[in-house]
Structure 1
């Protein structure tokens, strides 16, 4: 009887199989990454939808939208005021509303991450070691408090420097330009441009790291207030800026995903998410016209904007 001899794989055959598997993995990996990013982008949109709904509920309960910040003492941002409306009542009870957000009495509260305020496309577990700056009573104090970050910022106004003088001045008016007032609850009836074409809050993600045109920078040296802006309990609002084509210089044609120092910035490919005053969420594309960009910020600038323009 003839004996059948089983041949093992040769080294060349094994190498061929390994090469085929490597090629398949290489083909599948980008697809998996795209699916993961699409899911993160949708989650980010849902976060902003929840923020918009919370602000609407706040407006219904208290007769106006939450202030984007106190004017000025005690210092707190809009993220603090809507805590009860995003199912964060325990955190709202922990937070001392009569003290500044960097006060030792608030150290425990501000260190708690709030998922709704963080885009899942950004690195997890980011914190900011708070050093006072900008309009704090005393600038440069290292508070020793580590705060969890938030990736969503409201506009204070918009630097539409290319507009004629009167329109430019109105766009830079931090008291009257945007939907959210400073130290005041603004009514929907004050938004005369229409709630469906006025921006409420948008992504300015990635802090305290500095990102420019999709690239994380080796240091945060060029980031405005890296130890002051970013905690979800902070002001989380700024002057929206346009940028040069390389993203490093303020003023220019770049409007979306240019620089997360000031303006609209996301770690998504092709654009950034924003919630409007009517509660709708839109993906603002890279390359958005700067007149449209500025017009979305102003609540009563008289601009006529159609949804297909952004």
Structure 2
């Protein structure tokens, strides 16, 4: 007797993605896990994206739906998708419009979550892919604990690698209906899941996604000297501070969902960031936030010392 494959709902935010969208859709169709549904939210495209989605839906008429996004940016588009999930969504994952999934992406993620009955999130490495010359390299492995203290200042759960199980999906929907704007839906999900003591399953093995790099990436992998310089200049301009402010505000709206320990850490973190100078650093030290690498943790403390975190 064959056991039915678990259902997977794929959420895809789309805006002017016609250049690469067909390749991503084909890679979804070619997945070894076949029990999937795709919900694509077109966020005001002015190119042929919507036509491409409609053509794809004709090949899978019962498995593809297309809706209109809120047109308030990529994160708001994904948050609206999360907020409108149906009760039978099953496992939920997130697709960018310009990546390519390797055939076992869904199979591997479902397998990772198969033994978890409480909220759980799987994620992992990806290939940073320069498709023009087909040059790719695997993103870094992660080894430090995946905790709320880590999530406060770093997102290690890239949305295009992420899948959440049904209990996590129900929790995420409830929280999305109450949360305000966030910088990135994947960072918000990492914060939420660590804040409720959900399982974080990071796959350090061979990646199963090609994360395409091009001039129109909303965020990008942030590798290379030029990208690192831009990121550091952004920190000095207050962009990182704004992102932390937004995360704290969004979590505060759903703080009743968090564990008592996470609520206390969040309050301490928020209060510490109101201090100045040495008092700020000492207060943050009591919170003990950290990043996955020592170098990146040092970078956070440097930013905090400058009042930019």
TM score, norm. by length of structure 2 = 0.28
TM score, norm. by length of structure 1 = 0.28
**Higher gyration radius (CA):** 1
